[in-house]
Amino acid sequence: MVSRPRISILMPTHCRPDVVGLAVESVLNQTFGDFELLVVGDGALPGTAQAVQRFDDPRIRYFDLPKAPHFGYANRNVALRQSRGELIGFAADDDLLFPDHFETLLRGLQDGAAIAYSQALWVSTDGIVAPFLTNLEFPDEFEAFRRGNTIAASCFLYRADALPARDAWPEDVPSAADWRLWHRILDANPQSPIAYCRTPTVLHFSARRKASRHSGMPQLAAFISIADSAAWWPKALRVPIAPDRTEQETFADLMRSTPGWCSHIRQASADLAARLAWDEIQHNRAATAAKDARPAARPVKSPVQRIAAEIRRIPRNIGRILKE
C-alpha cells in the first residue's frame, strides 16, 4: 500500500520548458520532504515533459494533458482528483521556493487554521526585488483582498478537507481562479482563521506572457521607480540579469551557491521596509515644518505614499481587466 503524503503540491505548466525544471528543483530541495508533486502539463510546449522527467524522484507525477480553456483550471482539477495529501499547496512553474517554504507554512497551520500564506518577494525582469506584505489580519487590507488579489498563489497552503471536494478550482472563469479559491476556503471555514507567516518564502517572477518589467503590478512598478533613483536600495535586492539568462536561472544559482543567501535577502527585505518607513517619517516631519513656515501647497508624495496610492488602485484596475 502506498503511503499517503502529507502535502500534495500542484504545479501547472504550459509554456515555460526553460524554467519549469528550476521550479521543480526548488520543490525537491524543501526541508520538509513528505509530499507529492503533481506537475500538470496544460497543453505544454515541447520540452516540458523532458525538463520534469529528468528528475528521478518517485514523488513527482507528470500529467500530460491537452490544453484546457483559459489558464487550464480544469486540468488542475484532474490532477487534484488523483491527489492524496491531507494538505494542498501550489507552486508556479516560473517561481522559486525557499527551502523552508512548506516547513514555514506547516507551522502556520498547526493551530487549526484552514489556510496559511507567506510573503513573496517579487522580481522584475531586470532583477529588482521588492516585498509584497499584504497582512489579512488588518480589516482594511482584508477588504482590499476581497476586491482584488495581492498575494501570489505560490504563497498558499490549505487543508484538503477545508472544502467538500478536492477538485475545487473554478473552471468557468477566464482568470484569477486562485483568488476565488482562497475566498471559497475562507467563506467555508469562518471559525478557522487564516494564518499569516511573516517571512518571505517565494521568489515570484514577472510572467513572460505579460511582457512587462513589473508584471503589470502597480505596486512593483512603484518599488522599481524608487529603486531606479535610490542609491541606498539594498544590493541584495538589485541583481543584474545577463542578456542570455533568465531571472530564474540567475536567482537559482544564488540560492544554490551562496551560503546564507535566503537569510540575507530576507534581512535586506526587512531593511527596505524599515528604510521606507524612515523616509515616510522624515518626509512627514519636513512637510509639517514647511506647512508651518509657508502657505499651504500641494504636498509631494513620499515613496511610501506613492506605493499606498497604487495599492488602493488595485481593485479598480483588476475590475477593469476582468471586464475586458
Would the pLDDT of 324 be above 60? Answer: no
- Rg of the chain over Cα atoms, rounded to whole angstroms, equals 20
Q: Per the structure block, which three cell numbers stand in for 71?
A: 489558464
- CATH number for the domain spanning 300: value is 3.90.550.10
When divided into structural domains, the chain yields a total of 1
Higher pLDDT, 273 or 309: 273
pLDDT band of residue 133 (cuts 50, 70, 90) is confident
Q: What is the pLDDT of residues 26-45, one digit of tens each?
A: 999 999 999 999 999 999 99
Q: Are strands 156-159 and 115-123 parallel, antiparallel or unpaired?
A: antiparallel
**Alpha carbon distance 8, 87 (integer Å):** 6
Provide the residue type at 204 as one letter. Answer: H
Per residue in 156-179, pLDDT (tens digit) is 999 999 999 999 999 999 999 999
| pLDDT of 296 over the 80 cut | no
Please answer whether residues 176 and 149 qualify as being in contact, where contact means their C-beta atoms are separated by less than 8 angstroms: yes
**Tell me, what's the pLDDT at 291?**
63
pLDDT value, residue 318: 47
pLDDT score, position 217 = 85
Specify the pLDDT at position 321. Answer: 45
Query: Is 38 within 8 Å of 61 (Cβ atoms)?
Result: yes
Q: What is the pLDDT of residue 255?
A: 97
The confidence score (pLDDT) of residue 261 equals 97
| pLDDT of 126 strictly over 60 | yes
User: pLDDT tens across 75-118, in order?
Assistant: 999 999 999 999 999 999 999 999 999 999 999 999 999 999 99
Q: What is the pTM of this model?
A: 0.88
pLDDT at 209: 84
Counting Cβ atoms within 10 Å, is residue 317 exposed (0-12), middle (13-18) or buried (19+)? Answer: middle
DSSP-derived pairing of the beta strands 60-65 and 115-123: unpaired
Share the mean pLDDT of the chain: 91
Give the pLDDT band of residue 322 (cuts 50, 70, 90): very low
Look at residue 280 in the predicted model and tell me its pLDDT.
86
Query: How sure is the predictor about 62, in pLDDT bands with cuts at 50, 70 and 90?
Result: very high
Q: What is the DSSP letter of 128?
A: B
Query: Which structural domain, as residue segments, surrounds residue 76?
Result: 1-324
pLDDT given for residue 236 in this prediction = 97
Say if CB 121 and CB 203 are below 8 A apart.
yes
